[in-house]
Amino acid sequence: MARTAVVAVGGNALLAQGENGTYEQQRANAGAMAVSICALLDAGWRVAVVHGNGPQVGNLAIQQELGRTEVPAMPLFSLGAMTEGQLGSLIAIALYGVCGPRHRIAALLSHVIVDLDDPAFAQPTKPIGPFFSERRATALAESRGWDITEDAGRGFRRVVPSPDPKGFVEIEAIGCLLDAGHVVVTGGGGGIPVGRREGVWDGVDAVIDKDYAAAELAHQIGADALVLITAVDAVQLDFGKKTQRRLTWIDTEEAERHLMAGQFPAGSMGPKVSAAVRFVERGGGRVAVITTPTLVADTLNNHDPANESVGTRIVPENSRQGAFA
Which candidate in 80, 272, 311, 322 is catalytic? 272
Which candidate in 29, 54, 80, 126 is catalytic? 126
Decide if 272 is catalytic: yes
Contact residues for 50 (Cβ-Cβ < 8 A; gap 6+): 6, 7, 8, 9, 186, 187, 188, 190, 210, 213, 214, 217
Burial of 155 (0-12, 13-18, 19+ CB in 10 A): middle
Decide if 88 is catalytic: no
Amino acid in the structure at residue 20: N
The closest alpha carbon to 230, from 275, 176, 197, belongs to: 275
- Residue 289: CB atoms within 10 A of its CB come to 26
Which candidate in 52, 187, 191, 210 is catalytic? 210
- The dihedral region occupied by 36, where left means phi > 0, alpha psi between -120 and 50, and beta the remainder, is alpha
Decide if 11 is catalytic: yes
Which candidate in 11, 191, 203, 322 is catalytic? 11
Which candidate in 10, 12, 53, 58 is catalytic? 12
Write out the catalytic residue numbers. Answer: 11-12, 126, 210, 272
